[in-house]
Every structure is written in structure tokens, then in C-alpha cells.
Amino acid sequence: MILSPPVLALQAGAAASSGFLLYALRWAAPVVRRWDPASGSRAQLRLERRALLVGVLVRTALAVQLASLALFVHASDALAPMFTGAMCAAGTLSASRYGWPALAVQVAATVVAGAWLAIDRADGLAPDQPLVRVKHALLPAVAIPVVAGAALQAAHFLALRPEIITSCCGSLFGREGRGGWAGLAWLPPRAAGALLVAVPGAAALAALALRRTGRGARAVAALSALAGPAAAAGVIAWLSPYVYEAPGHRCPFCLLQPEQGWVGYPLHAAVLVGCVAGVAVGVLQPFRRVPSLAGPLPALQRRLAGAAALAWIALLAGAAALVAASGLRA
């Protein structure tokens, strides 16, 4: 294991998050089975105190998870010079068999965390807290990817050795590469560019329409969920060559490096925020039927839709600016 400050911070955060969530799981079933806000019994008061504690622990754990994804990618990029053959985070992630699975699970955990936090926020908007049972019933769905991501991350960092010879991003995202990454990298550029513009653009329009009319939450969620993979394909196969001004260089992780002005961070952040906020809009839709949430919930959905629309528009504007500034011409 390589003991660098980012790695130590990630491991400490993952251990704390996992511990908090595992403790919270202990109280999930009792709250789901026995929660009765109309009761003034000692058992109900004890459950209310535990539910309050669980809420604080879960919110803290999921906030750490949201930050951990960015730090994991940053740490992978920072460790790249230690491995022969690595040029960016892609090489570090390839240095063990756990790297890419850890990244995939971390992304999934972040989206799930955002959805749970949206439900938690909605629950706090009503005086009777009508979603307490729902939140606790969903805790296993939140805890499993977060804990699994922490385990894969630990396995990845424990497996890293300076003597490892790994693959560079050119081999992963080149014509000779194998697997899904190579397939994305060599999509027809115009088709990938069309995906990058069309699907996030449609998600932004749907989110703006919801802000105006209050309708279309499921469309916002579905389009935002699709916009993430579409944006990834577009960034890899179409946008990256414009940034590098090299048609054969299609790595999304080299965009995070200072030579490229760190442009990958705002681009990837926009994709993540758009996905999380857009999916959360749809996750909240079934709870509009709850009487005490009929007033405040639509306002929360509009705010989330606004955040999703802003993120997708920022992605499209950033991509357009990068293409316009590039010396590469199609």
C-alpha cells in the first residue's frame, strides 16, 4: 500500500462512513416495524432518539461519500507517476484488478446517496416526518454500495506496489484496447458528439419545463440517467481529441491534469451533479401523494430540477467553449 495523504484521507473517510452506515442498519428494521408517531410510549421515544442519531450518521456518511468520489479520482491521478506505464488516473486504476470496479461502485454509490439525501430533505419539510419508515427501509440499498465501494477501494490501494508495470491510457482508450472503454473511445466522433449534445440537452429542457409547469419529473429522471453515459461517450470519443488537439488521444482522465487546465474537473462534476439532481427529482415524485408534502415537495423538486438544468447547460457550454478554442478541426 502506498501511504500518501489522499490515500490515508480516503481510507479514513471510507472506514468512518462504513462504520456509521453499519450502525444505522442495526436500527433500520426496528424503526420500519415499530415506528408509530401517534404513540407517546417509552419505546416510541427511544425509537425517535435513535432515528435522530441514525439520520445524523447517515447524512454525514453520505456527505463523505459525495466528496470521496472526487478525491478517489484525484488520488488516482496523483499516484500515476509512481507506476511505470501510467500517465494519468487510468494507469493507476489499471494497476490492480480492483481499481475500475472501485470507481464504478463509487459512482453508483454517489447517485444512490444523492437520492437518499433528497428523500431525507423532503422528510424534514413536513412536521410529521412522513418518510421516516421509507428512509430506514432504503438504508440497505444505500449502505451496500457505499460499503462495497469502501472495500474495493481498500483492496485496490492495498494491492498497489511501486514496481507494478501498468497500462497507459493510450492502450486503454486506443484502437487496440479491449473492453467497454475501448468501445466508447472509438465510437464515430460525430455520433458521440450528437449524443453529448442531444441527451444532456433534452435533460436540461425537461428540467426547465418542470421548473415552469411542475410536471415531467419522471422524464427528468430518465433523461438525466441516460445523459450520464451519453456525456461520458461524447467526452471520450468526441470532445477529448479537441482538447488535446490530437485525434488519437481520447482519455477522459488526462483532462484532469494541469497541462489541460484541469478542465476535466468541472466537466465531470457537471455530469455527476446533473445525474444526481435529475434522478432525485424522479425519486421524489411518488411522495407527492403524501398530504403533508403536497405543498413543500414540488418546490424541492423545482430546486433540484434547476440544479440539474444548470449542470447540463454548464456541460454543454463548457464543451462548446473547448471545441471553439481548439486548434483541431474536423
Condensed to tens digits (0 to 9), the pLDDT of residues 95-128 reads 889 999 999 999 999 999 999 999 999 999 998 8
User: According to the model, what pLDDT value does residue 235 have?
Assistant: 92
pTM of the entire predicted model: 0.90
Q: Are residues 149 and 295 in the same domain?
A: no
Mean pLDDT across 299-314: 97
Share of the chain above pLDDT 90, in %: 64
Condensed to tens digits (0 to 9), the pLDDT of residues 125-168 reads 998 889 999 999 999 999 999 999 999 999 999 998 887 777 77
Average pLDDT of the residues of the chain:
90
Domain boundary at 134, 164, 194, which?
Answer: 164
The DSSP bridge partners found for residue 84 are 165
Q: Are residues 155 and 174 in the same domain?
A: no
Domain boundary at 114, 141, 164, which?
Answer: 164
Q: Are residues 225 and 114 in the same domain?
A: no
Q: Are residues 155 and 259 in the same domain?
A: no
Q: Are residues 160 and 21 in the same domain?
A: yes
Enumerate residues 6+ apart whose C-beta is below 8 A from 111: 275, 276, 279
Domain at 282, CATH number: 1.20.120
Q: Are residues 1 and 144 in the same domain?
A: yes
User: According to the model, what pLDDT value does residue 330 have?
Assistant: 61
Which residue in this structure is represented by grid cell 483541431?
328
Q: Are residues 324 and 185 in the same domain?
A: yes
Condensed to tens digits (0 to 9), the pLDDT of residues 46-84 reads 888 988 999 999 999 999 999 999 999 999 988 888 888
Q: Are residues 54 and 107 in the same domain?
A: yes
Domain boundary at 164, 198, 223, which?
Answer: 164
Helix orientation angle between 5-34 and 42-79, rounded to the nearest 10 degrees:
160
Q: Are residues 74 and 191 in the same domain?
A: no
C-beta of residue 108 within 8 angstroms of C-beta of residue 141: no
CA nearest to 255, candidates 266, 86, 67, 247: 266
Share of the chain above pLDDT 70, in %: 95
Condensed to tens digits (0 to 9), the pLDDT of residues 150-162 reads 999 999 999 988 8
Domain that holds residue 264: 168-330
C-beta of residue 180 within 8 angstroms of C-beta of residue 107: no
Mean pLDDT across 222-245: 92
Alpha helices in 168-263 (DSSP H): 169-172, 180-185, 189-213, 217-234, 240-244
Q: Are residues 44 and 129 in the same domain?
A: yes
Q: How far, in Å, CA of 70 to CA of 93, rounded?
A: 14
Q: Are residues 188 and 62 in the same domain?
A: no
Beta strand spans in the chain (E): none
Condensed to tens digits (0 to 9), the pLDDT of residues 165-214 reads 777 776 677 655 555 555 666 788 889 999 999 999 999 999 999 999 99
Domain count, the chain: 2
Query: Environment class of residue 206 by beta-carbon count within 10 Å: exposed (0-12), middle (13-18) or buried (19+)?
Result: buried
Q: How far, in Å, CA of 221 to CA of 276, rounded?
A: 9
